[in-house]
């Protein structure tokens, strides 16, 4: 403790100071690193407890995407007649849904960070960002399991003789997933901060996510909307999620096309949302306990 | 550690700490305030809502929506000191601890520290019922700021201290509340921050464990030279642990000094008087309504203490001057957990002199409630018709006293009620 005595400014030898305002922007990376074990333990807790007292347990991870894909295949491909080219429609939908699920899981899980953790946050200090980070990571595990199912069906269809080819860009698929996680995290932090004061946002989120799915090219190729609804095509074109879904299908199934401009836009959008999210989140964590 | 006598080794310093809360509910009014505040901010002006605001006094109806929970708190803590922070319910103790443990930010002022602060605000924070005792030790320890390595190196000691060896691999949801507290305290006790903040932990757990916990806290401060800030209603614990005390009243430091004197000051604060008029959550015709309640001990200036005289005085709004003959009044005292302790009524004892139905005073010669916090529910009937019924209308504290005249205490976890008895060996 005394090693700081050579400091010429006496008031500087305080270890830290608690003041009304935070620094304008701080990621607190050093602090997050100090608490890395907590991050790991939160992930472990989420994984252990999520399906306790259910009969099917982790099977729920698989049931949801499979049934959604079946439903989509029946409605959008068989009834509405959307064409997926040479790719089996079920595989097309499964790819979209698996990727989309990761985004919604991140967004949903992080968007009630403050509300759901009010009891802990009200008693102990730790870098609050640990909580949404742990959600994004534990969902990554869930995504991994769901992705295995996708691979299983891919192999199945391949053996059935479907025309499936690999695209080398699949090597960048993890980057795409990371971008998606960061986007979900940023948006979730933004919403969770606003929910602490105005609960309206949590209502907005519930149906907002549903509407967003229709605008994100999950169950149709992006080109389709431009052809059929040229007037509303911009809704999809300005949606960064649509590019992520589209690109992931390009990587996994070698279908559709990649828009470099769209991807640059998506990266920029993600970085911006993430920075704004961190900013607002930091501001909220100082005082939310008084308003939650 | 050798401290120079000339220069005090200040480890923690609070400078003009103030904290403002907004009362009432969040709704459209909040948006208006937010926009106004933002507009002032844009023009570079001061927050308009910082100027208004009442002193934190629950018993009077405030004029504004903002209240100062703490105002201009200044104090210094030396290394190795155990500082007791005492005050009645709502005096601002918990707010102060929340600021110290970085859970919430002060509205103005600053706290400077030369050491890591770890808080023990209500033990068991972050415990997960589905996980085993061992897993929870890790989780809880990490939440409190320990690394996995640190926890592993102390795991054996923690388990031993908690006395839960047999159940350590059982999910915590099967633990009794006492066991959960022991385990949680054990984790916190092996934290190694320079400054430990403790709130109300000793209220739970059995007498043996409390003794162990107090001993551990003494070790922490005396042997390891670490600093403890201790908030409690348990005056015995404050007395035996603390080297210095601060008395908070309505968000202001009213007294600072030797523990003994601080406790005396605390006990002599003016009686609790609660304004009941603005409570809207009540049932009945409202013909006669409770308006104020005072709770006090031997005199109006002394807080209730076990074994001493105890008075609880109810004042009524009685615009029609209804005679006390036509009124039946009763009230119930519950403990902090909602357990019903005792019911007192005008219908079961012989009444004193008839009055005008404005004030009813219950006088108890020798209070036989053990120390703790109690909640009161009142019930008033006029002419066989419910006039005013308010659930959990207010709470009051009973301080530790010498009920048996022997100086011996019985833990509230063993005995909520105290009674006189003779022992005969036959």
Same domain as B201, residue B115: yes
- Is B384 a member of any domain? yes
**What pLDDT is attached to residue B271?**
59
Same domain as B325, residue B211: no
Would the CB atoms of B114 and A13 count as touching at under 8 Å? yes
For residue B104, the enclosing domain spans: 10-23+48-267
- Is B35 a member of any domain? no
Last residue of a domain, one of B247, B267, B287: B267
Last residue of a domain, one of B230, B245, B267: B267
Whose structure tokens read 């989309």? Answer: A100
Same domain as B154, residue B141: yes
What are the beta bridge partners of residue B364? B310
Considering CB atoms only, which of A40, A44, A126 is closest to B145?
A126
The rounded distance, in Å, linking the Cα atoms of B398 and B284 is 30
Averaged pLDDT for residues B306-311: 92
ipTM of the complex in this document:
0.79
**Chain B residue nearest residue A51, CA to CA:** B130
Interface test with B, best of A12, A14, A193 (most B CBs within 10 A): A14
Same domain as B177, residue B97: yes
Same domain as B226, residue B127: yes
Q: Which residues of B touch A291 (CB under 8 A)?
A: 22, 26
**Does B122 lie at the interface with A, CB-CB under 8 angstroms?**
yes
The rounded distance, in Å, linking the Cα atoms of B378 and B380 is 7
Would the CB atoms of B113 and A121 count as touching at under 8 Å? no
Q: Which residues of A touch B105 (CB under 8 A)?
A: 18-22, 286-287
Contact between B18 and B68 under an 8 Å Cβ cutoff? The reply is yes
**What pLDDT is attached to residue B310?**
94
Closest approach of chain B CAs to the CA of A51, in angstroms?
11
pLDDT band at B202 (very low <50, low <70, confident <90, very high): low
**What pLDDT is attached to residue A9?**
40
Q: What is the pTM of this model?
A: 0.71
pLDDT band at B49 (very low <50, low <70, confident <90, very high): low
Tally the domains of chain B.
2
Percent of chain B with pLDDT strictly greater than 90: 17
- Is B89 a member of any domain? yes
- Is B405 a member of any domain? no
Same domain as B278, residue B157: no
What are the beta bridge partners of residue B361? B313
> Which secondary-structure segment (H or E) carries A134?
helix A130-159
Would the CB atoms of A290 and B147 count as touching at under 8 Å? no
- CATH number for the domain harbouring residue B294: 2.70.50.60
Considering CB atoms only, which of A17, A48, A287 is closest to B112?
A17
Same domain as B240, residue B116: yes
Structure confidence by residue, pLDDT tens digits, B405-422: 888 888 887 888 999 999
Mean pLDDT of chain B: 81
- Is B302 a member of any domain? yes
- CATH number for the domain harbouring residue B136: 3.40.50.300
Q: Which residues of B touch A42 (CB under 8 A)?
A: 139
Would the CB atoms of B126 and A1 count as touching at under 8 Å? no
**What pLDDT is attached to residue A177?**
92
Same domain as B331, residue B220: no
Structure confidence by residue, pLDDT tens digits, B108-162: 888 998 888 877 666 666 788 888 889 889 988 888 888 899 899 999 988 988 8
- For residue B6, pLDDT over 70 is answered with no
Would the CB atoms of B101 and A121 count as touching at under 8 Å? no
- How many interchain CB pairs under 8 A, A with B? 109
Last residue of a domain, one of B216, B245, B267: B267
Same domain as B291, residue B207: no
Would the CB atoms of A124 and B119 count as touching at under 8 Å? yes
Same domain as B131, residue B71: yes
Structure confidence by residue, pLDDT tens digits, A164-182: 777 788 888 899 999 999 9
> Three-state SS for A249?
helix
Cα-based distances in Å from B180 to A116, B171, B339, B414: 22, 11, 20, 18
Averaged pLDDT for residues A184-198: 87
Would the CB atoms of A122 and B128 count as touching at under 8 Å? no
- Is B341 a member of any domain? yes
Structure confidence by residue, pLDDT tens digits, A207-252: 898 888 888 888 888 777 777 777 777 788 888 888 898 888 888 8
Same domain as B385, residue B263: no
**What pLDDT is attached to residue B311?**
93
Averaged pLDDT for residues B337-363: 82
- Is B39 a member of any domain? no
Same domain as B278, residue B246: no
The rounded distance, in Å, linking the Cα atoms of B92 and A184 is 39
Structure confidence by residue, pLDDT tens digits, A30-75: 888 888 999 999 998 888 877 666 667 777 788 888 888 888 888 8
- For residue B163, pLDDT over 60 is answered with yes
- Is B407 a member of any domain? no
Averaged pLDDT for residues B185-210: 72
Structure confidence by residue, pLDDT tens digits, B51-96: 555 555 544 445 556 778 888 999 999 888 889 998 877 788 888 8
Would the CB atoms of A123 and B30 count as touching at under 8 Å? no
Averaged pLDDT for residues A262-282: 91
Closest approach of chain B CAs to the CA of A21, in angstroms?
8
Structure confidence by residue, pLDDT tens digits, A129-175: 899 999 999 999 889 989 999 999 989 988 888 777 777 888 888 99
Alpha helices by DSSP H, A3-129: 29-34, 36-49, 60-72, 89-111, 113-116, 118-121
Interface test with B, best of A32, A33, A37, A40 (most B CBs within 10 A): A37
């Amino acid at each position: 403790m005394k090693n700081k005595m050579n400091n010429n400014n006496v008031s500087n030898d305080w270890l830290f100071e608690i003041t009304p305002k935070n620094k304008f922007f701080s990621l607190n990376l050093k602090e997050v690193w100090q608490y890395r074990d907590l991050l790991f333990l939160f992930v472990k807790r989420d994984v252990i407890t999520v399906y306790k007292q259910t009969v099917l347990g982790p099977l729920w991870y698989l049931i949801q995407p499979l049934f959604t894909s079946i439903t989509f295949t029946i409605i959008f491909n068989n009834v509405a007649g959307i064409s997926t080219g040479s790719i089996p429609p079920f595989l097309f939908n499964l790819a979209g849904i698996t990727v989309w699920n990761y985004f919604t899981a991140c967004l949903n899980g992080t968007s009630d960070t403050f509300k759901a953790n009010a009891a802990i946050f009200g008693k102990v200090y730790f870098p609050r960002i640990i909580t949404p980070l742990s959600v994004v990571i534990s969902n990554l595990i869930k995504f991994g399991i769901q992705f295995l199912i996708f691979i299983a069906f891919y192999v199945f269809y391949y053996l059935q003789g479907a025309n499936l080819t690999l695209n080398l860009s699949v090597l960048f698929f993890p980057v795409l997933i990371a971008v998606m996680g960061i986007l979900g995290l940023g948006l979730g932090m933004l919403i969770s901060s606003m929910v602490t004061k105005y609960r309206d946002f949590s209502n907005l989120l519930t149906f907002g996510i549903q509407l967003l799915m229709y605008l994100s090219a999950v169950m149709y190729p992006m080109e389709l909307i431009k052809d059929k609804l040229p007037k509303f095509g911009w809704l999809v074109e300005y949606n960064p999620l649509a590019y992520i879904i589209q690109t992931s299908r390009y990587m996994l199934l070698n279908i559709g096309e990649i828009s470099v401009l769209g991807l640059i836009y998506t990266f920029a959008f993600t970085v911006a949302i993430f920075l704004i999210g961190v900013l607002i989140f930091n501001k909220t964590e100082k005082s939310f306990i008084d308003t939650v | 550690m050798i401290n120079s006598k000339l220069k005090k080794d200040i480890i923690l310093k609070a400078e003009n700490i103030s904290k403002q809360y907004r009362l009432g509910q969040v709704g459209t009014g909040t948006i208006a305030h937010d926009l106004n505040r933002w507009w002032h901010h844009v023009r570079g002006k001061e927050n308009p809502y910082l100027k208004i605001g009442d002193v934190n006094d629950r018993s009077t109806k405030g004029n504004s929506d903002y209240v100062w929970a703490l105002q201009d708190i200044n104090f210094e803590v030396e290394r190795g000191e155990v500082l007791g922070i005492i005050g009645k319910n709502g005096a601002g103790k918990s707010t102060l601890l929340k600021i110290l443990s970085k859970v919430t930010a002060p509205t103005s002022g600053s706290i400077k520290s030369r050491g890591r602060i770890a808080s023990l605000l209500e033990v068991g924070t972050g415990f997960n019922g589905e996980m085993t005792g061992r897993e929870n030790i890790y989780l809880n320890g990490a939440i409190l700021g320990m690394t996995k390595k640190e926890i592993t190196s102390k795991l054996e000691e923690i388990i031993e201290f908690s006395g839960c060896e047999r159940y350590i691999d059982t999910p915590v949801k099967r633990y009794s509340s006492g066991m959960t507290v022991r385990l949680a305290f054990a984790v916190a006790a092996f934290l190694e921050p320079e400054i430990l903040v403790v709130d109300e932990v000793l209220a739970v757990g059995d007498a043996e464990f409390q003794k162990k916990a107090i001993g551990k806290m003494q070790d922490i401060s005396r042997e390891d030279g670490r600093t403890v800030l201790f908030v409690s209603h348990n005056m015995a614990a404050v007395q035996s642990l603390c080297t210095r005390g601060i008395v908070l009243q309505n968000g202001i430091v009213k007294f600072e000094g030797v523990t003994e004197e601080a406790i005396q000051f605390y006990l002599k604060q003016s009686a609790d008087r609660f304004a009941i008029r603005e409570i809207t959550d009540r049932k009945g015709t409202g013909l006669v309504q409770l308006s104020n309640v005072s709770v006090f001990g031997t005199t109006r200036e002394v807080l209730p203490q076990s074994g001493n005289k105890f008075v609880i005085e109810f004042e009524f709004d009685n615009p029609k001057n209804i005679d006390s003959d036509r009124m039946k009044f009763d009230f119930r005292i519950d403990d902090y957990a909602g357990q019903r302790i005792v019911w007192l009524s005008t219908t079961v004892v012989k009444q004193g002199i008839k009055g005008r139905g404005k004030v009813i005073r219950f006088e108890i010669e020798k209070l036989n409630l053990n120390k703790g916090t109690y909640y009161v529910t009142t019930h008033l009937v006029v002419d066989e018709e419910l006039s005013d019924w308010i659930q959990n209308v207010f709470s009051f504290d009973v301080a530790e006293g010498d009920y048996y005249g022997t100086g011996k205490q019985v833990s509230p976890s063993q005995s909520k009620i105290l009674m006189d008895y003779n022992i005969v060996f036959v």
